[in-house]
Structure formats: structure tokens, C-alpha cells
Amino acid sequence: MVDTHLAFRECFARIDKEFLQKAEDESLDDGTTAAVVLIRGNRLITANIGDSRAVVSIRGQALDIIEEQTPGRADERKRIEEQGGWVNEERELQLSKLHCMDLSDPEIQQRAERVVKWMTIYRVNGELAVSRAIGDIDYKGEALSRYEYWAFPEGHDRMFRGDLVISVPECQEIEITPEFDFLILACDGLWDTIKSKEAVKYVADRLSQGYSAKQASQSLANLAIRSGSSDNVSVVIVLLNTEQLPRDINAFSRE
């Protein structure tokens, strides 16, 4: 049988290598997180890097099935520091989200107080808020030493001993049971404004109204934008309850 975890790691490494070459050739500094799910029989296998998230609804209750990789996580911080990097901690009041909110909508008005709050953000070398990613060439290999703008902490030897941001995914595997309703895969543009349990309830309500998975994902992404998300928002919903599949497939085919 194929070692799925190894296949994921090799795939992520290949994509990262190819994109880093493109970044080198075209002077790009872009990067991306990734959350991938493979369903094999009754097994649900995930692979993720960065702060995208996968959430399963189990009888209407939200379960986060991957752990986000941020510089604030103790093991990630330790790895970064061992390679010569450092992690800065910032406290930020999310007032800017107010300017992006659709405050004419009563539903959004009720959400405003929950969304606008103090947040603690951890950044690699004071810059990047994720510790694993595809791309982000400035935090990998020889580019680390070429970057001219690092604000080195006092006493730092100005040497790096390895990649600060890596593309190695963390893999998880769980059994799908009849209690599983659906899966939500989304980037941090959604989770910055909507909690996992809120997303699950919102999607469940839309599915009960006859929405397809595609329609529910579009509606959830739109809610995040109206709630003040200033980041890009990508959402995928996968139905796991077979009783919902025929309705969803029919609805999708009519769009």
C-alpha cells in the first residue's frame, strides 16, 4: 500500500522546490499555506503547512482536525531559533476590520464586537506570521543571507544555520464514521473572522435550506468578507454524510 504521508511530504517538497526556482528566476517573494485532504475508504487523511485549517462537523459539533503551524507554537519557535532565527510577539487591535465590515447588515453588527479585539501575533524574524509555507524564499537557503533588511536582535551573530520556514507538512489520519456531516477547508482569511463552531453552524443551516456544498462555501466566504476579513478567502466544503450527496450533486449540476 502507498505510504500516503510520505507521498504528501514528497509532493510538498517538489512543489516548493519548483516554486522557489521560479521565485529565484523572477525575483518573487510570494508564499502560500496549504491544507490538503485525501479520503480513502473510511479514512480521512490531512496534510497541512501554515495557518489554513480543516474542520469537521460531527453531529453539528466542530472538530479541528489539523493544528496550525505558527511561530508562536513552542516546537515551531524552538526549531526557528535553532536555525538562527527569532520570533517577535506583537499585540494588535483589529480596528482595521471595522472599515471592511458591512455594518448596514444587522447580522454583521452583532458580530462586530467579537471580531474587533486584541490579538497576539507571532512573526518569524519580525515579519512572517507562519512557520511553514510553500515559497517565501527570503526565509530559506542562500536567500536568508542575501536579504538586507533583517532587524537582528542585539547579540545575534548574523548567521543562519538552516531554513527558518519549511515546507514539510504535518499529516493526520482519522476514521470517518456515520456521525460525520461535512468538512470545511479554508485559509486564514476565513478563520480570522469566523470561529470553527460558527462556520459549522452557518454551513449546517445553509445545507438544511437546500444549498449545495458549492453554494454554502460561497456564502461562508462572503460572510467572512462582510465581517471584515481583509485577507484572501478560500473555502471548500466536502459532504461526508452520504444522505446529503445526491441533493448536493443535483444542485451542483444545475449551476
Q: 172's torsion region: left (phi>0), alpha (psi -120 to 50) or beta?
A: beta
C-alpha closest to that of 138 among 17, 8, 223, 28: 28
Helical axes 245-253 vs 213-226, angle rounded to 10°: 80
- Determine the structural domain holding residue 41 and report its residue range: 4-253
Least confident of 69-83, 108-122, 155-169, 205-219: 108-122
Predicted pLDDT at 247: 46
Amino acid at 176: I
Chain segment 1-57, per-residue pLDDT in tens: 679 999 999 999 999 999 999 999 999 999 999 999 999 989 999 999 999 999 999
Question: Each residue of 155-198: pLDDT tens digit?
Answer: 999 999 999 999 999 999 999 999 999 999 999 989 988 999 99
> In the structure grid, which three cell numbers stand for residue 99, read together?
472599515
CATH number of the structural domain spanning residue 140: 3.60.40.10
Give the pLDDT score at 120.
Answer: 84
In this predicted structure, the answer to whether residue 116 has a pLDDT above a threshold of 80 is no
H helices of the chain, in order, are 4-26, 74-82, 96-100, 106-115, 143-146, 188-191, 196-208, 213-226, 245-253
What is the longest distance spanned by two Cα atoms in the chain? 63
pLDDT: which is higher, 140 or 93:
140
Does residue 255 have a pLDDT over 50?
no
Who wins on pLDDT, 206 or 246? 206
Which residues pair with residue 171 across a beta bridge? 47
Can you tell me the distance from the alpha carbon of 180 to that of 56, in angstroms, rounded to the nearest whole number?
7
Give the sheet arrangement for strand 180-186, strand by strand: 61-64, 53-58, 180-186, 235-239
CA distance 202 to 191: 13
Task: Quote the number of domains for the chain.
Answer: 1
Query: What is residue 144's predicted lDDT score, i.e. its pLDDT?
Result: 86
Task: Kindly report, residue by residue over 232-243, the tens digit of the pLDDT.
Answer: 899 999 999 856
pLDDT digits (tens, 9 = 90+) for 58-102: 999 999 999 899 999 999 999 999 999 999 998 865 655 555 566
